[in-house]
């Protein structure tokens, strides 16, 4: 192995697959959950029957209270052609769960989510077509770089250490539940992402494990910057020390608006793979999914990305469904994956 491709204790098959073809990741979990029209009772079990706060909308909790729903959603994405499914853990940190007074259940949520996804992936896998589970680590509702008080620029509502501890707890449970890789996603604050990366490094070092890590940022508007102010290039250089298996962008924008930023990332991140899973266009409350784009529209846009040579991993974020993923998978299958450039002297540097 050379310096840019470590030997993984899990997920090695994914690292070996990426140079050979474009890999497909699943679509939106929240969009699919909305189709089930679940009520408050679905978010409660016997232990939560008398919980004082409303729980409807706490989708991560469904891995405990309605695992059948989450398993079925995973199965639909796998049937649509997804190679990677994400655990239902976008908001399953103790910090995010404080909003529901359920911080004490964060570990259980992550463990249950990983096990449900593992079962679904294993049921769909074949010797010729492995399926992978990505442990999803979301950004949390708090930001380490930006003040929540416009009158006090130095104010913060979370510390780096608190974020690291919350991500460590999440990652431990995901690892125990059987994930193949970690996905630090929807990053709007790079300092939050650094806390997650630090926690993952600590955990894997202590456990003697090495899993692939994918890092995915979010460009929030036409400025081409993430919320904490970094350009795509600055974001990449801030996290490249983690040697992620892939760097990418997701959420916030549809593919049409995301194109220049994913093109830039594809150009500058020469020593890693590139992932992209945009929203289904812009929000549209009149649409069935809440977003503009139909599967053929999203599929055509992602085919253009593949044709241009931008992609190694592709899928969908908010507003995308198994129908979107099936269309994307069909269209990008005809194209070769983006090639990484070998870093200088890579053949001479030990792993």
- The pLDDT, as a whole number, for residue 285 is 87
- The pLDDT, as a whole number, for residue 6 is 58
Over residues 196-216, the mean pLDDT reads: 97
pLDDT bucket at 194, cuts 50 / 70 / 90: very high
Over residues 322-347, the mean pLDDT reads: 82
C-beta of residue 245 within 8 angstroms of C-beta of residue 13 = no
* Residue 43 CB-half CA count within 13 A: 19
Q: Quick check: 351 pLDDT over 50? A: no
Summarize pLDDT for 129-142 with one digit per residue, the tens.
999 999 999 999 99
% of the chain with per-residue pLDDT over 90? 86
Over residues 239-245, the mean pLDDT reads: 95
Summarize pLDDT for 79-117 with one digit per residue, the tens.
999 999 999 999 999 999 999 999 999 999 999 999 999
Q: Quick check: 3 pLDDT over 50? A: no
- Which among 338, 188, 336 has a CA at the least distance from the CA of 266? 338
Summarize pLDDT for 280-295 with one digit per residue, the tens.
998 888 888 899 999 9
Over residues 164-179, the mean pLDDT reads: 98
- The pLDDT, as a whole number, for residue 314 is 98
Summarize pLDDT for 23-50 with one digit per residue, the tens.
999 999 999 999 999 999 999 999 999 9
- The pLDDT, as a whole number, for residue 349 is 35
- Burial class, 214, CB count within 10 angstroms (exposed 0-12 / middle 13-18 / buried 19+): buried
Per-chain mean pLDDT for the chain:
93
Beta strand 181-187 pairing with 313-314: unpaired
Entry pTM: 0.94
- The pLDDT, as a whole number, for residue 282 is 87
- The pLDDT, as a whole number, for residue 346 is 38
- The pLDDT, as a whole number, for residue 148 is 86
pLDDT bucket at 249, cuts 50 / 70 / 90: very high
Helix (H) or strand (E) holding 53: none
Beta strand 313-314 pairing with 132-137: unpaired
* Residue 20 CB-half CA count within 13 A: 5
Q: Quick check: 276 pLDDT over 70? A: yes
User: What is the distance between the alpha carbons of residues 260 and 70, in angstroms, rounded to a whole number?
Assistant: 34
- Which among 92, 126, 134 has a CA at the least distance from the CA of 109? 92
């Amino acid at each position: 192995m050379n310096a840019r491709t470590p030997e993984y204790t899990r997920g090695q098959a994914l690292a070996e697959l990426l140079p050979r073809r474009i890999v497909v990741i699943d679509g939106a979990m929240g969009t699919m959950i909305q189709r089930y029209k679940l009520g408050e009772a679905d978010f409660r079990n016997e232990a939560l029957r008398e919980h004082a706060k409303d729980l409807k909308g706490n989708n991560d909790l469904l891995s405990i209270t309605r695992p059948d729903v989450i398993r079925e959603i995973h199965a639909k994405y796998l049937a649509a052609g997804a190679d990677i499914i994400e655990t239902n853990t976008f908001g399953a940190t103790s910090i995010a769960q404080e909003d529901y007074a359920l911080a004490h259940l964060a570990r259980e949520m992550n463990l249950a989510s990983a096990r449900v996804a593992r079962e679904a992936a294993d049921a769909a896998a074949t010797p010729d077509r492995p399926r992978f589970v990505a442990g999803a680590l979301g950004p949390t509702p708090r930001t380490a770089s930006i003040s929540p008080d416009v009158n006090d620029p130095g104010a913060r509502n979370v510390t780096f250490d608190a974020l690291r501890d919350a991500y460590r707890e999440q990652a431990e449970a995901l690892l125990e539940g059987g994930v193949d890789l970690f996905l630090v996603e929807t990053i709007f604050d790079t300092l939050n992402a650094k806390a997650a990366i630090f926690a993952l490094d600590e955990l894997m070092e202590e456990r003697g494990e090495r899993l692939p890590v994918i890092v995915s940022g979010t460009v929030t508007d036409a400025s081409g910057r993430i919320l904490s102010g970094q350009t795509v290039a600055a974001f990449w250089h801030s996290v490249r020390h983690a040697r992620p298996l892939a760097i990418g962008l997701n959420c916030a924008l549809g593919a049409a608006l995301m194109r220049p930023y994913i093109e830039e990332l594809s150009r500058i991140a020469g020593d890693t793979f590139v992932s992209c899973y945009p929203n289904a266009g812009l929000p549209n409350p009149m649409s069935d999914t809440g977003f503009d784009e139909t599967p053929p529209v999203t599929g055509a846009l992602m085919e253009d990305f593949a044709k241009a040579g931008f992609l190694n991993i592709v899928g969908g974020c908010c507003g995308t469904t198994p129908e979107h993923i099936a269309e994307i998978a069909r269209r990008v299958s005809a194209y070769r994956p983006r090639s990484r450039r070998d870093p200088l002297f890579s053949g001479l540097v030990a792993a």
